[in-house]
Copies of this chain bind each other. A is one copy, B any other.
Amino acid sequence: MNALLQKIVEDTPGARAAILMGFDGIAIDQYVRPEDADTDIEALAMEFSFRFLELRKASESLDLGEVSDITIKAERGAILVRVLNPEFFVATLLADAGHFGKGRWLLRSTAASIASQL
């Protein structure tokens, strides 16, 4: 599990950390790049987890169905989220948003492996 999160971070240019968390805000596992040891990915993902749940509810109530991916790009970072199942998501924090595509692809390609370990 941790090896998969580490792989996501190491293979995504600009990635600082990745975390597997429940939509209840409880972290299962995380990997933070050693150079970014001060990154509190858990606090960050926890702060967003309830909001992600709200987005999922809105999507379903609007007949768009289950949300699979959420991306948030901000001034000083970007968050890529992959919903694994109704209970868990994986999130990657990027230092900048330049490599969205690769990060999203990596999240998607490892999502099944991570989900299979839940």
Q: Which residues on A are within 8 Å of B, measured CB to CB?
A: 43-44, 47-48, 51, 54-55, 58-59, 61-77, 79, 97, 101
Contact present for B63 and A69 (CB under 8 Å): no
Answer whether A55 and B51 are a contact pair too, CB < 8 Å, given A69-B73, A70-B72. yes
**In the bound complex, CA of A76 to CA of B61 (Å):** 12
- Which chain B residues border A61 with CB–CB below 8 Å? 47
Contact present for A62 and B75 (CB under 8 Å): no
Partner of A72, one of B59, B73, B74, B101: B59
- Which chain B residues border A74 with CB–CB below 8 Å? 59, 64-68
Contact present for A47 and B54 (CB under 8 Å): no
- Which chain B residues border A79 with CB–CB below 8 Å? 64
**In the bound complex, CA of A54 to CA of B51 (Å):** 7
